[in-house]
């Protein structure tokens, strides 16, 4: 199924929640969607006959300046097609519904995006830091992050 076909299927089902399709050559074809309805869209992509995305390749957080983005890379081992789903949320209220229960492997991916970028995945059962120490302050992959001077008495700067 081509990206445009997937886009049309989603558009018929969800209407205005599906914002745009980006098919720029050289990039992964990406569909931008509304974050509020992301769980239903993901369930549709997983279960609908003909789409059947059964392999969630990756979930990444992105700092876009004013907004935070979350990028879902999906692949179907059965149908051999792939698609990228993107959402954007404002930085002062970065709430995205958790897709942890759609594909369980997004559990740790979402924890990583929370750890490094501070995306708040609403409904995640265990949203705490996964890589950094549990008492770390701030989210270091944000563009406006300032390195601490000391951590537990150890100097951080060179």
Partner 1 sequence: MGLLDRLDDPYDIGDNIFLGTIEDVLNWGRSKSDWYMTFGLACCAIEFMAVNAAHYDFMRFGCIPRPSPRQTDFIIISGTVTLKMAERIKRLYEQMAEPKYVLSMGSCSNSGGPYWEDGYHVLKGVDRIIPVDVYIPGCPPRPEAFLDGMVKLQSKIKHQEIFRKRQNMSQADRDAIAQRQVELQKLREEYENWRKEHFDILQQE
Question: Could you say whether residue 128 binds partner 1 (CB under 8 A)?
Answer: no
Task: Single out the residue of 27, 133, 143, 144 in contact with partner 1 (rule: CB under 8 A).
Answer: 133
Question: Could you say whether residue 144 binds partner 1 (CB under 8 A)?
Answer: no
Size of the site for partner 1 (CB under 8 A): 13
**Tokens 């995305």 map to which residue?**
53
Instruction: For Cα atoms 62, 144, 110, give the angle at the middle one, nearest 5 degrees.
Output: 35
The end-to-end CA distance of the chain, in Å, is 51
Question: Could you say whether residue 50 binds partner 1 (CB under 8 A)?
Answer: no
Please answer whether residues 129 and 119 qualify as being in contact, where contact means their C-beta atoms are separated by less than 8 angstroms.
no
Residue 44 or 145: the one with the smaller Cβ distance to partner 1 is 145
Give the per-residue contact string, 87-126, with partner 1 (x = CB under 8 A; - = no).
----------------------------------------
Question: Could you say whether residue 149 binds partner 1 (CB under 8 A)?
Answer: no
Residue 93 or 156: the one with the smaller Cβ distance to partner 1 is 156
Rounded CA gap, 111 and 16, in Å? 29
| Phi–psi pair at 100, nearest 5 degrees | -60, -35
Question: Could you say whether residue 71 binds partner 1 (CB under 8 A)?
Answer: no
Residue 44 or 151: the one with the smaller Cβ distance to partner 1 is 151
Rounded CA gap, 106 and 142, in Å? 21
| Phi–psi pair at 124, nearest 5 degrees | -70, 135
Binding region for partner 1 (CB under 8 A):
132-133, 140, 145, 147-148, 151-152, 154-158
């Amino acid at each position: 199924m081509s990206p445009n076909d997937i886009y049309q299927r989603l558009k018929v089902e969800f209407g205005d929640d599906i914002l745009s399709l980006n098919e720029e050559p050289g990039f992964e074809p990406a569909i931008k969607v509304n974050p509020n309805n992301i769980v239903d869209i993901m369930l549709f992509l997983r279960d609908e006959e003909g789409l059947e995305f059964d392999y969630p390749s990756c979930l990444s957080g992105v700092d876009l300046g004013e907004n935070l983005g979350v990028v879902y890379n999906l692949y179907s081992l059965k149908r051999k097609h792939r698609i990228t789903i993107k959402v954007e949320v404002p930085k002062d209220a970065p709430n995205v519904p958790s897709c942890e229960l759609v594909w369980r492997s997004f559990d740790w991916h979402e924890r990583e995006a929370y750890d490094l970028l501070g995306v708040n995945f609403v409904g995640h059962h265990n949203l705490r830091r996964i890589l950094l120490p549990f008492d770390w302050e701030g989210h270091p992959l944000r563009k406006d992050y300032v390195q601490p001077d000391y951590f537990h008495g150890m100097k951080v700067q060179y």
